[in-house]
Amino acid sequence: MLVEDSLRAEAPTPIAAAWLLLHRDDVSPDLPPLLAITSDPARATARDVEAVDRAIRGLWRETDPGRVVRVATAALALGRGSECRAALWTVVEDGRDGGDVTAGIRAISLLCADGVVTGRWDECVRLADEGATLCAIHGHRLLAGPLRLARALVAAARGDLGPAATHRDRALGRDGHRVAALAALADDDVETAYGHASAIAPAGSLPAHDHAALAVAPDLVEVARSTGRTGEATRHARAMREAPLAALSPRFGMLALGAEAVATSPGDAAVDLFEEALATVGGERWAFDHARIQLAYGRHLRRNRSPAPARRHLDAALATFRWLRAEPWIERTRDELRAVGARTGAPTRGWGRPTLAPHEHEVASLAASGLTNKQIAGRLHLSPRTVSARLYQVFPKLGVTSRAGLRDALTGLAVADERRTS
């Protein structure tokens, strides 16, 4: 088969995938959507996303582990990896039971990558260790890299700089800079963080086929602004906002709005951007990203002498950071709360986990009792799709991956007052 022909197959060969990464601009735009998004998510099209939507909806009946992995890889590039978790777990279990071990390791890597962005950090660490053991047993050294990366990113975000530094020293190129940038940011060394982030991609640039550049983009804006490089911060925030992915991926759209708010001079424009970012539907599912935007917004409000709304956003951010055990950000948020006169020594409402809104708690409780989505929809006079959407938001908040874990996760959980302004 010619390389050009294999590019149009649903399951391109590894040689074809590598060829595409080198020659994407030279081939027909009529590429397999899963491969197009996986190779270059920053330039995804609505057509590509529609194809991924169809593929995700069909995963429940998919029996090919390789196909599940390809769909989940594309979904993760759009910030929708959580929608593939059930199918990925099936692949993992199949590998554990003597099936396709290679696909099982890849599925573990994808679950880890999704866990990094959705706050399932403890699960991520456990899975990364399991995947690394499987790689060692079966001689899959190349597959171990993404597992080390996920583990190092969690370590860096939690301020555990020893493991983060170990991965940074072992990683190649952009992944090493990505870990080092986050570790330096956690250590409040913004100048070093800027050096590593800009080494991946200079301010104002989102290079094609560069996943690391997308991942580090919000950090680059933050540290550019913190080091007085306002022009660089503005250019990079604009590049994020203008990337097609900002309109097609809710997570990247939220990050782009948050970055633009950070880069914007103090005033109402920044407030509007922060509000729009935090209004992203389901934004809480990307726990660390969402809480960092809340922290930035709270800091902005505090500096502009709006202590009451600042405290609300800072309290919410602190609850999430405590749940994640992201120690550097806990201390940073507590400093901001002290600056607005709040006491931070005792646990705040929602200690340990973010709260659920009443409508989320209602659906989750019924699901925990054993009712199906259709039965819940009938009882609450909702559509089954609405029930599914609410559960989709609840699972990452509670750190569970199935209905079986809902009952324990809901025990003693605080429920937010929806009448309260945010």
Residue range 80-139, pLDDT digits in tens: 888 899 999 999 999 988 889 999 999 999 999 999 999 999 999 999 999 999 999 999
Q: Is the same domain home to 274 and 336?
A: yes
Of 37-46, 306-315, 331-340, 346-355, the one with minimum mean pLDDT is 346-355
Q: What is the pLDDT of residue 278?
A: 93
Range of lowest pLDDT (14-28, 101-115, 207-221, 340-354): 14-28
Q: Mind listing the pLDDT tens digit for each residue in 277-312?
A: 999 988 888 999 999 999 999 999 998 888 899 999
Question: pTM, whole model, 2 decimals?
Answer: 0.75
Long-range residue pairs from 190-195, CB within 8 A, at least 24 positions apart, any chain: 190/223, 190/226, 190/227, 191/223, 191/227, 193/219, 193/223, 194/220, 194/223, 194/224, 194/227, 194/229
Instruction: Check which CATH number belongs to the domain holding 402 and give it.
Output: 1.10.10.10
33 pLDDT higher than 90: no
Q: Answer with the one of 340, 369, 393 that is the final residue of a domain.
A: 340
- The verdict on residue 108 lying in a domain is no
Is the pLDDT at 150 greater than 90? The verdict is: yes
Selected residue with higher pLDDT from 111 and 378: 111
Domain assignment present for residue 39? The answer is: no
Residue 316 lies in a domain: yes
Span 45-68, mean pLDDT?
88
Name which residue leads in pLDDT, 200 or 17. Answer: 200
Task: Report the pLDDT averaged over residues 239-255.
Answer: 91
Q: Is residue 14 part of a domain?
A: no
pLDDT range class, residue 7, cuts 50, 70, 90: very low
The predicted pLDDT at position 50 comes to: 87
Domain boundary, last residue among 306, 340, 374: 340
Q: Which of 340, 374, 396 is the C-terminal boundary of a domain?
A: 340
> What's the CA dihedral at 63, 91, 119, 418 to 10 degrees?
40
Greater pLDDT, 51 or 354: 51
Structural domain contains residue 212: no
- Per-position b or e across 233-259, b if 16+ CB within 10 A of its CB: bbbbbbbbbebbbbebbbbbbbbbbbb
pLDDT of residue 117: 93
- Check if the beta carbon of residue 260 is closer than 8 Å to that of residue 276: no
Residues 335 and 305 in one domain: yes
Same domain, 336 and 368: no
273 and 332 both lie in a single domain = yes
Q: Nearest-CA neighbor of 227 among 191, 258, 184, 259?
A: 191
| pLDDT at residue 383, as a whole number | 81
119 vs 25, more confident: 119
Indicate whether 89 belongs to any domain.
no
Q: What is the dihedral of CA 413, 278, 189, 212, to 10 degrees?
A: 100
State the residue range of the domain holding 313.
269-340
pLDDT in tens, 393-415: 777 677 666 777 777 677 645 44
**Contact by Cβ (8 Å): 125, 148:** no
163 has pLDDT over 70: no
3-state secondary structure of 44: coil
Q: Is 167 a member of any domain?
A: no
Q: Looking at the structure, tell me whether residues 329 and 284 fall in a common domain.
A: yes
pLDDT given at position 351: 42
Mean pLDDT of the chain: 81
Q: How many domains does the chain have?
A: 2
Q: 80 in a domain, yes or no?
A: no
Q: Coil, strand or helix: which one is 356? A: strand
Same structural domain for residues 323 and 384? no
Q: Per this entry, what is the length of the chain?
A: 422
